[in-house]
Structure 1
Amino acid sequence: MNPVHIPQSHRDLLESDACVALTTVMPDGQPQITPVWCDREGDYVVLNTMRGFRKEQNMRANPKVTLLVIDPKDGSRWIEVRGTVVEIRREGAEAHAERCIRHMHTS
């Protein structure tokens, strides 16, 4: 996603094992929401999905997306991140998925 300002008070949510909901836009204009793994690389939010999945197809067709992350310990604490996908790449995808899995099992 494009660089977005994420308040210091909520950066931990993007680095936690919280469930992240990704909203993309279907070809007919309807929203499509799916859970994803994500983390941050500097000012960028990095997502992971499989090639050919509906969300990947949607992001290629319309790169505008929204993420919703809810604190698993406090449902009243959450962050919505709106942005534009700036790059879809395979390079590093497996390593990113492995990092996310390791993080989930050590949190």
Structure 2
Amino acid sequence: MYDEASSLFEIHEPTPAPNVLDPLPIKTEQIQAIRDAFEKAGVVNQDDRKALIESVVVREVASLRELKAVDARRILQRIEGLRRPKSTSTGSAWDNREEDTWIDKL
């Protein structure tokens, strides 16, 4: 009976479950997409590339392989922003709107 009573109070360490919140590592296709985007944007200097990537992920990165899959989309968006021509604002937000409103269609 003593053995049975003591087993009621034994605390077993549960095996830790894998953390499903850990981001997945970057995929080879994502790495290639980042490299291609840098080429299209004309960013060829490795220091410039590293600075841009680190500004997006807000941590030091020694290699593209250290990135996570979720980082790739944000990095690609930032690189795309480099390629877009900056539009000059010559008036108010109303004057610079891109779409016609119902008033414009009258």
For the superposition of Structure 1 and Structure 2, which TM-score range results when normalised by the shorter chain?
Answer: under 0.3
TM-score by length of 2: 0.25
Which of the pair is proportionally richer in helix? Answer: 2
Q: Which protein is bigger by CA-based radius of gyration?
A: 2
TM-score by length of 1: 0.25
